[in-house]
Copies of this chain bind each other. A is one copy, B any other.
Amino acid sequence: MDSRPIGIFDSGVGGLTVVSQIQQILPKEGIVYFGDTARVPYGTKSKETVTKFSVENVEFLMRHDVKLVVVACNTVSSLSLDFLKRCFRVPMIGVIEPGAKSAVSSSRNSRIGVIGTQATISSGAYEKAISKISSRSRVFTQSCPLFVPLVEEGWTDMHIAFDVASIYLKPLKAKRIDTLILGCTHYPLLKAMIGKAMGPRVLLIDSAQEVSKEAKDVLDASGLLNKSGQSRAHKFFVSDEVNRFIKMGEKFLRKRITCVRRA
């Protein structure tokens, strides 16, 4: 039993979809969240730059004595997780493997689609993770650079979101996938439009849900769950100003955010 908090970081607000799921699955755990809002986004940047920023982010979380680091960003999980695991001793999980596992066990025709940022898609991280689990699965990928700005503009319910989704997803539809991994923490907010564009027979996999189950399993297996009677506090830190993070972040967390400080 261990009452130290779980550390979670992302390039900005997107990782709050992971916080939201972890709060549901592990309601007693404390959370320290870091969003690198001064340098967001990561998804258009190089492996070297993303890794450099991520090392700094983990160092920040380590100063808050976290017992587990959850890399809530698909781009970081794709490009930098192996390096981070070699640099730090703390247990660390990313969003790629849990999403890949869930997709493989859900797909009936073994034709899996993956959407994400340019960096995530061109890294090939999901293909690698899926092929490790199931050699017969075929993976089809598509980067969707306009999805994040559409979500941040709050246009998720507008017809234009459906038009953009239709353009990006047309090639995946043609590949007759039956399972689609939402490989970016912003994408669950576009779930309705993505679902409409793909049709009702395609299952959408939300990485945030999957990594939260993984976090629970890891803590449980290592005897690190907080089994005290008390729920622990949640703290949020950002590298740019607090107000914009709160305004945007409440859409992702689907509840009020308090206790945000500038790191």
Residues on A facing B (Cβ under 8 Å): 37-40, 44-46, 48-49, 145-146, 148-150, 152-153, 155, 160, 163-164, 167, 239-241, 244
Q: Report whether A49 and B244 are in contact in the complex, using a CB–CB cutoff of 8 Å.
A: no
Contacts of A38 in B (CB 8 A): 39, 45, 49
Q: Report whether A160 and B150 are in contact in the complex, using a CB–CB cutoff of 8 Å.
A: no
Q: Return the contact of A160 from the options B40, B145, B160 (Cβ within 8 A).
A: B160
Q: Return the contact of A149 from the options B45, B145, B244 (Cβ within 8 A).
A: B145
Could you tell me the distance between the alpha carbons of A148 and B150 in the complex, rounded to whole angstroms?
Answer: 12
Could you tell me the distance between the alpha carbons of A167 and B150 in the complex, rounded to whole angstroms?
Answer: 13
Contacts of A145 in B (CB 8 A): 149, 152-153
Q: Return the contact of A46 from the options B44, B48, B167, B241 (Cβ within 8 A).
A: B241
Q: Report whether B160 and A48 are in contact in the complex, using a CB–CB cutoff of 8 Å.
A: no
Contacts of A160 in B (CB 8 A): 160, 163-164, 167
Known: A160-B163, A160-B164, A163-B163. A240 touches B49 (CB 8 A): yes
Q: Report whether A49 and B241 are in contact in the complex, using a CB–CB cutoff of 8 Å.
A: yes
Q: Report whether B153 and A241 are in contact in the complex, using a CB–CB cutoff of 8 Å.
A: no
Contacts of A241 in B (CB 8 A): 45-46, 48-49
Could you tell me the distance between the alpha carbons of A164 and B161 in the complex, rounded to whole angstroms?
Answer: 10
Q: Return the contact of A45 from the options B37, B44, B152 (Cβ within 8 A).
A: B37
Q: Which residue of B lies closest to A53 (CB)?
A: B38
Could you tell me the distance between the alpha carbons of A239 and B49 in the complex, rounded to whole angstroms?
Answer: 9
Contacts of A244 in B (CB 8 A): 44, 46
User: Can you name 13 A-B pairs with beta carbons within 8 Å?
Assistant: A37-B45, A38-B49, A40-B44, A45-B240, A46-B244, A49-B239, A145-B153, A146-B146, A146-B149, A149-B149, A160-B160, A160-B167, A163-B163
Contacts of A146 in B (CB 8 A): 146, 149-150, 153, 155
